[in-house]
Structure 1
Amino acid sequence: MTGVPGRAVRVLVVDDEPPLAELLSMALRMEGWEIRTAGDGTTAVRVAREFRPDAVVLDVMLPDFSGLEVIRRLRTEFEHLPVLFLTAKDAVEDRIAGLTAGGDDYVTKPFSLEEVALRLRALLRRARVVTAASDSLLTVGDLTMDEDTREVHRAGQPITLTATEFELLRYLMRNPKRVLSKAQILDRVWSYDFGGQANIVELYISYLRKKIDADRAPMIHTMRGAGYVLKPAS
């Protein structure tokens, strides 16, 4: 998915809670987007001017000045920049203030990472950064995945996956014919190192095989000593 031809969609995440900013960044990188972060309003404005984002995820409460002021400053240079506000406040007046300041959507903490990604994708489409309806569809051979609806089919037959199985398959499908090591899969799907428990990858690969390859020509292959690869069935 690209914003400007030849490059990935760029998203600026602005939040003064580093753990939350990092979780958001990891979730949005799973969308294939390029992410930058800022922890205060001053840094957000500076990074935006340098990074030229296609969209901003913006916390309302920041340590120096509010997210409302950030967007007022950015609007002078980025007139149509999509903005998704994050806030711990859920009062109607706060929602109105955010939207009046130029925000395009509003999510109240606590929120799900999946919801943020879906809302942001919708804003990008609305802003024509992402225009094709098929951008959410991944296809490898006769295997398809709709990232928006989270529906998976092989040869037209629906396949039900758990959340972790879905993320693992999504990573494989975004990298077809590419050998992915256990370390790469752990880092991208589980987001941290399991140390000696790297066999979690083997376990979930086996789960996927039972659902994706059962009674069909195999698509998921083990490359001994290297990792795993997903490719169209021969």
Structure 2
Amino acid sequence: MKILLIEDEQRVAGLIQKGLEEQGFAVTLAYDGAFGKKLAFANTYDLIITDIILPKLSGIELCKEIKTEYPHLPIIMLTALGTTDDKVEGFDAGADDYMVKPFDLRELYVRIRALLKRNTLEIKPKETLIEYADLQLNNDTKTVFRSGVEINLTPKELKLLEYMIQNKERLLTRTEIAEKVWDTHFDTGTNFIDVYINYLRKKIDKDFASKLIHTKPGLGFIFKL
């Protein structure tokens, strides 16, 4: 498995490279965002690991550009920026996972293998049009309409909404949402999940009489009329 590691702190990059190579991965290093982008577009990798604060091109912009061209290429962000807002920005840029420095290399291995395993599973064709009540989600055009009004969602908001519609009228815990929508078995923080639910609720419920997202205090959320 080939991994592209983009990290401007050479000591940290060296430690991660050594650890990953001991696990059997082939690791290519880039010390700035621009060179990382050049490598990503010129070669084939199974997974990319990138810092956010990078010289020449930020990890956020780099992630957006790579995901535009290679939407299924897994990207893990490693960064010292660990607030909820930072995580939201990273996931909205297209990151598949997000780890805050300092971190345990063993945890990084587990997350890498989880993402690689997910990518090798057979992908079932998605339904083109998913509907519930007066809401429609089109997977081909990535558009959402409610009562004929178009609603603009970020990629993660879209994925969260799709999962909630597919699991309508049943309780969804925060742990399940983290695992199924963010593809991680690690706690991204209760507040983090709630922030995304609130973002989605403001967009699809706020201006409409009937509400679709309901909170069950201490339990989770239900998508229903």
- TM-score, L = length of structure 1: 0.50
Which residue matches 2:60? 68
How many pairs are equivalent? Answer: 122
Which residue matches 1:43? 35
Quick one: which amino acid aligns to residue 109 of structure 2? A
Q: In angstroms, what is the RMSD of aligned CA positions?
A: 1.5
Q: Is this contact kept in 2: 1:54–1:129, CA < 8 A?
A: no
Secondary structure of the residue aligned to 1:96 is helix
Q: Does 1:103 align with 2:95?
A: yes
Give the stretch that moved more between structures: 70-79 or 35-44: 70-79
- Output the CA distance in 2 between the equivalents of 1:37 and 1:125: 23
C-alpha spacing 1:22/1:129, structure 2 compared with 1 (3 Å): farther
Deviation by residue 1:54-80 (Cα, 9 ceiling, x = unmatched): 100110110122101001111232110
Larger radius of gyration: 1
Which residue matches 2:106? 114
Query: 1:55 pairs with 35, 39, 47, which one?
Result: 47
Which residue matches 1:123? 115
Deviation by residue 1:31-88 (Cα, 9 ceiling, x = unmatched): 2111101111100011112221110011011012210100111123211010110110
Which residue matches 2:189? none
Deviation by residue 1:161-191 (Cα, 9 ceiling, x = unmatched): xxxxxxxxxxxxxxxxxxxxxxxxxxxxxxx
Which residue matches 1:16? 8
- Output the CA distance in 2 between the equivalents of 1:113 and 1:51: 25
Listed as ranges, the gaps of 5+ residues in structure 2 are 123-225
C-alpha spacing 1:129/1:24, structure 2 compared with 1 (3 Å): farther
Q: Is this contact kept in 2: 1:15–1:38, CA < 8 A?
A: yes
Listed as ranges, the gaps of 5+ residues in structure 1 are 1-8, 131-234
Quick one: which amino acid aligns to residue 53 of structure 1? Y
Moved over 3 A (4+): none
Secondary structure of the residue aligned to 2:109 is helix
Identity %: 36
Secondary structure of the residue aligned to 2:120 is coil
Quick one: which amino acid aligns to residue 82 of structure 1? P
- Output the CA distance in 2 between the equivalents of 1:129 and 1:61: 32
